[in-house]
């Protein structure tokens, strides 16, 4: 199987501004591989290192040691991001632009020819159901509409790898269903999806494999059903057990 | 280059969708028209005071637009978190900085075009002459000067904490250079050491923006500046802008994006 | 409802009280020495600092007279102590000395040498055609008028504003009526000013060709003149205008054939002149012309 995303002994330390305090270790030697065509869930409690991992993969933060690559290209090279789409957790875009202008801007950065970009924009506007609002400035959009614009911009370059950071955060049940449908459709098209989420129910439904990270360390990686079987519990209970949370016995 | 101009295009769109330029332009027009309507000894050929007032307003407005537009570019991207989806594209940080620079510089150029057209019409309505080459020389010098200011402000936006402090510092520095930059070496001679040495170092290291202020030549209808000196001044401006931009690229490389 | 009505009535009561109090105190306010109620807008906005602005605009007018080629506070301005636009009127004594072309001195470094290519670089006067040296453009001196007008408005007590403005209006703009208006305005602000009366006389003489009226005004100026004590510059300026007045009266009397009166005026001029020997020669020549070398009648003192 082709490895699309690889992290090799990835370590990230943040130096503290206080003189006497030691550096904070956000990632402690993370080894991770995501194969082509799979939907990979990246789970962990708050502060586990999920966002830091994504920041390294996207080139926002340089690793202290170790390496990471996308499609075999080091993540520090801008070309590594040519075939990926990224949806951040908090979606903010240029408020003075319309959705159409925003997508056209990103299409230019990807070097998509004008005609092809127009076609992609039309398709994406239909997909995320923003055709009626495509010429309105983004400042007039609701939170849900902004999230959908975010999804559209993540798909503008027809990416082979989609990196989603909490994609259903802040969405109503209908919105979440739409996102799940899009993820499943991408999978059917052979795309790879790498996403982090707290919604374990969703993860169970869509993911092929998951990794659970806690305090910067990878605790477990594998298929969902294998993890459930190993811990004789549903995914939520298995997750809590893996991160070391003791559940209270029922009264 | 396409990435740079894509980023620049967004900056230009931002200009004409914000009110800053329109407000300043309309205020300039109103003040100039009021000044033009003043009856001075029943003589309607008096024009130089009007040219001076108009050019002063053009300079002030252009500096306000240049500094305030540039100062908020990268901080606003970070604050609004638009930087993350942008840098997640195949766009380097250097391309982003250069794109912001060209966007703000082109914005200044478009602003100057509008202002100088108005100035030309205003002056021409009284003088009945349109020295287009003189205006072209002055406008280009002005534009390239703003290029230095934009590059300096961009560097400042990556060094200073807040856009407001960056703007204030840039206004003070630019105003200081325009008013006394030419005379710092004279001032240095009157000071004891080590102040003299420090002042001389400052004199030789600051970008001499006052060279590009050719308002007196335009107002009083002096002949054209020799083209070779004009060209050298533009090169001087490009050199300083490059230095500031290099500093900005280096500063941004080390900056956290969130 | 009740509370809204109460607030409404309270508001009306307060307004009534305020207006009543204001009306009652109005006469006292007007009589108050520090009151600015009758001051002009510049006095109200700027106070005494308006004189600083007035000086600044007067200098600005002179800078315009030189088409921008003018020293800053950092340059050698010995040749610009007296504004050239005032000096050229012939009614102001000059305190200038030194080189007017080289006030910047030689360039101190390559930056300054380079920057001089972007500045006005020659000493010119607008009434001589400015940088183009085109005498047909001598009317360009009109460009100094807005700054002079502003300076006048800010400092009505500076008589030079009026005299310089009126001179150029008359001499180059050929607008004697406007010049007359300016001088009369100056006299209202500075009653009996010798400088203004002198310039008014010149206006009547050269602008309206009314010598009789001019002589009357100059006589009034001569009558109003008083010697002053103080620094050398003040005394010199005061004496200079008296010399000018008496010289003009002398010339007018000479032209009218009243030679004895003319000699009398020149003698008065000689008492305050910085070059009395020149005047003495002139007087001697006139006496010789009138009476010949032998006859010398008693001196006529007007």
Asked if A163's CB is within 8 angstroms of B82's CB, the reply is: no
Model confidence at A187: pLDDT above 90: no
- From chain A, the residues in CB contact with B18 under 8 A are 96
pLDDT grade, residue B210 (50/70/90)?
Answer: very high
The tokens describing A85, both together, are: 């789409």
Residues B138, B216 contacting (CB under 8 angstroms)? no
Model confidence at A94: pLDDT above 70: yes
pTM of the model: 0.87
Q: What is the pLDDT of residue B224?
A: 95
Among partner residues C67, C111, C117, which is closest to B229 by beta-carbon distance? Answer: C117
Among partner residues B82, B90, B257, which is closest to A60 by beta-carbon distance? Answer: B257
Q: Beta-carbon neighbour count of residue A3 at 10 Å?
A: 14
Please compute the mean of the pLDDT values over residues B241-258 and round it to a whole number. 89
E-strand ranges in A49-115 read 65-70, 73-74, 84-87
**Is A59 touching B (CB cutoff 8 A)?**
yes
The A209-214 sheet, strands edge to edge:
A84-87, A161-165, A192-196, A39-43, A209-214, A217-223
Distance, in Å, from the CA atom of B90 to the CA atom of A84, rounded to the nearest integer, reads 9
The tokens describing C107, both together, are: 């360039």
Q: What is the pLDDT of residue C97?
A: 83
Q: Beta-carbon neighbour count of residue A54 at 10 Å?
A: 23
**Is C131 touching B (CB cutoff 8 A)?**
yes
Residues C238, C227 contacting (CB under 8 angstroms)? yes
Please compute the mean of the pLDDT values over residues B195-224 and round it to a whole number. 95
Among partner residues B14, B17, B90, which is closest to A109 by beta-carbon distance? Answer: B90
> If residue A4 lies in a helix (H) or strand (E), which one and from where to where?
strand A3-14
The tokens describing B204, both together, are: 């030789």
Q: What is the pLDDT of residue A246?
A: 62
- Exposure pattern of B199-227 as b/e (b: 16+ CB <10 Å)? bbebbeebbbbbbbbbbbbbbbbbeebee
The answer to whether the complex's ipTM is over 0.95 is no
| Candidates C64, C103, C115, partner chain B, best to mutate (most B CBs within 10 A) | C115
Query: Which of C241, C254, C264 lies closest to C289, judged by CA?
Result: C254
pLDDT grade, residue C294 (50/70/90)?
Answer: low
Q: What is the pLDDT of residue A111?
A: 93
How many angstroms separate the first and last alpha carbons of chain B?
Answer: 26
Q: Helix, strand, coil proportions of chain C in percent (round to 5)? A: 70, 0, 30
pLDDT grade, residue C159 (50/70/90)?
Answer: very high
| Residues above pLDDT 70, as percent of chain C | 93
- From chain C, the residues in CB contact with B226 under 8 A are 117
Distance, in Å, from the CA atom of C127 to the CA atom of C138, rounded to the nearest integer, reads 4
Residue whose structure tokens are 């200081």: B176
- From chain C, the residues in CB contact with B182 under 8 A are 112, 115
pLDDT grade, residue C298 (50/70/90)?
Answer: low
Distance from CA of A58 to the nearest CA of B (A): 6
- Exposure pattern of C87-99 as b/e (b: 16+ CB <10 Å)? bbbebbbeeeeee
Q: Is the peptide bond before B194 cis (omega within 30 degrees of 0)?
A: yes
Asked if B89's CB is within 8 angstroms of A110's CB, the reply is: yes
Bridge partner residues of C297 (DSSP): none
The A3-14 sheet, strands edge to edge:
A24-35, A3-14, A65-70, A73-74
Please compute the mean of the pLDDT values over residues B88-101 and round it to a whole number. 94
Q: What is the pLDDT of residue C36?
A: 58
Which residues are within 8 A (CB) of C217 and not within 5 positions of it... i.e. 6 or more apart?
C197, C198, C200, C201, C204
**Is A99 touching B (CB cutoff 8 A)?**
no
Residues B185, B196 contacting (CB under 8 angstroms)? no
Please state the length of chain C: 302
**Do at least 3 CB pairs under 8 Å connect C with A?**
no
Q: What is the pLDDT of residue A203?
A: 84
Distance from CA of B38 to the nearest CA of C (A): 9
């Amino acid at each position: 199987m082709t490895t699309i995303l690889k992290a090799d002994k990835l370590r990230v330390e943040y130096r503290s501004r206080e003189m006497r305090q030691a550096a904070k270790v956000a990632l402690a030697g993370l080894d991770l591989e995501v194969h082509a065509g799979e939907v990979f869930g990246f789970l962990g409690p708050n502060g586990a290192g999920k966002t830091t991992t994504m920041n390294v993969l996207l080139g926002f933060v340089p690793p202290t040691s170790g390496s990471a690559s996308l499609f075999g290209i080091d993540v520090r090279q801008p070309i590594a991001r040519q075939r990926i789409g990224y949806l951040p957790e908090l979606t903010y875009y240029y408020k003075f632009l319309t959705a159409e202008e925003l997508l056209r801007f990103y299409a230019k950065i990807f070097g998509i020819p004008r005609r092809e970009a127009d076609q992609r924009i039309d398709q994406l506007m239909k997909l995320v159901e923003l055709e009626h609002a495509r010429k309105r400035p983004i400042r007039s959009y609701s939170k849900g509409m902004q999230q959908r614009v975010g999804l559209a911009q993540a798909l503008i370059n027809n990416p082979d790898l989609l990196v989603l950071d909490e994609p259903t955060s802040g969405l109503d049940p209908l919105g979440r269903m739409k996102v799940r449908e899009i993820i499943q459709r991408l999978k059917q098209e052979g795309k790879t999806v790498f996403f982090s989420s707290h919604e374990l129910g969703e993860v169970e439904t869509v993911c092929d494999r998951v990794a659970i990270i806690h305090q910067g360390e990878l605790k477990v990686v594998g298929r969902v059903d294998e993890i459930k079987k190993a811990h004789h519990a549903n995914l939520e209970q298995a997750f809590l057990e893996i991160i070391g949370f003791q559940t209270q016995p029922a009264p | 280059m396409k990435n740079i101009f894509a980023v620049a295009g967004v900056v230009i769109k931002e200009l004409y969708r914000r009110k800053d330029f329109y407000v300043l332009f309309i205020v300039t027009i109103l003040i100039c028209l009021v000044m033009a309507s003043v009856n001075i000894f029943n003589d309607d050929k008096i024009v130089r005071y009007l040219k001076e007032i108009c050019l002063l307003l053009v300079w002030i407005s252009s500096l306000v637009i240049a500094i305030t537009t540039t100062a908020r570019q990268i901080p606003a991207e970070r604050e609004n978190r638009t930087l993350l989806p942008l840098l997640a594209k195949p766009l380097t940080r250097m391309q982003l900085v250069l794109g912001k620079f060209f966007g703000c510089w082109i914005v200044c150029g478009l602003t100057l075009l509008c202002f100088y057209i108005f100035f030309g019409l205003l002056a021409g309505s009284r003088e009945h002459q349109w020295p287009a080459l003189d205006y072209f020389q002055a406008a280009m010098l002005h534009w390239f000067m703003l290029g230095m200011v934009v590059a300096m402000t961009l560097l400042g936006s990556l060094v200073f904490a807040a856009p407001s402090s960056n703007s204030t510092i840039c206004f003070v520095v630019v105003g200081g250079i325009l008013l006394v930059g030419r005379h710092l070496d004279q001032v240095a001679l009157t000071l004891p050491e080590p102040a003299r040495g420090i002042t001389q170092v400052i004199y030789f290291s600051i970008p001499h923006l006052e060279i590009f202020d050719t308002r007196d030549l335009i107002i009083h209808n002096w002949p054209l500046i020799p083209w070779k000196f004009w060209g050298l001044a533009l090169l001087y401006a490009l050199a300083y802008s490059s230095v500031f931009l290099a500093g900005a690229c280096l500063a941004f490389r080390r900056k956290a994006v969130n | 409802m009740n509370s809204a009505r109460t607030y409404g009535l309270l508001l009306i009561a307060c307004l009534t009280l305020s207006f009543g109090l204001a009306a009652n105190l109005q006469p006292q306010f007007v009589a108050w020495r520090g009151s600015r109620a009758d001051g002009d807008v510049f006095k109200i906005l700027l106070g005494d600092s308006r004189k600083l602005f007035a000086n600044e605009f007067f200098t600005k007018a002179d800078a315009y007279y030189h088409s921008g080629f003018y020293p800053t506070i950092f340059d050698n301005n010995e040749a610009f102590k007296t504004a050239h636009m005032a000096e050229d009127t012939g009614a102001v004594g000059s305190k200038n000395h030194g080189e007017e072309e080289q006030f910047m001195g030689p360039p101190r470094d390559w930056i300054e040498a380079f920057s001089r290519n972007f500045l006005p670089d020659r000493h010119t006067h607008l009434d001589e055609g400015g940088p183009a040296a085109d005498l047909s453009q001598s009317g360009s001196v009109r460009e100094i008028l807005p700054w002079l007008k502003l300076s006048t408005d800010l400092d009505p007590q500076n008589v030079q504003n009026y005299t310089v403005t009126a001179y150029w209006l008359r001499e180059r703009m050929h607008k004697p009526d406007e010049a007359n208006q300016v001088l009369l305005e100056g006299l209202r602000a500075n009653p009996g000013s010798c400088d203004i009366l002198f310039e008014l006389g010149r206006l009547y003489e050269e602008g309206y060709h009314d010598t009789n009226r001019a002589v009357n005004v100059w006589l009034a100026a001569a009558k109003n003149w008083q010697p002053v004590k103080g620094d050398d510059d003040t005394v010199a300026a005061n004496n200079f205008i008296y010399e000018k007045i008496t010289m003009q009266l002398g010339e007018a009397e000479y032209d009218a054939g009243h030679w004895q009166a003319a000699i009398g005026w020149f003698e008065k001029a000689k008492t305050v002149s910085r070059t009395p020997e020149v005047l003495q020669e002139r007087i001697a020549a006139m006496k010789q012309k009138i009476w010949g070398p032998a006859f010398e009648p008693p001196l006529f003192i007007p």
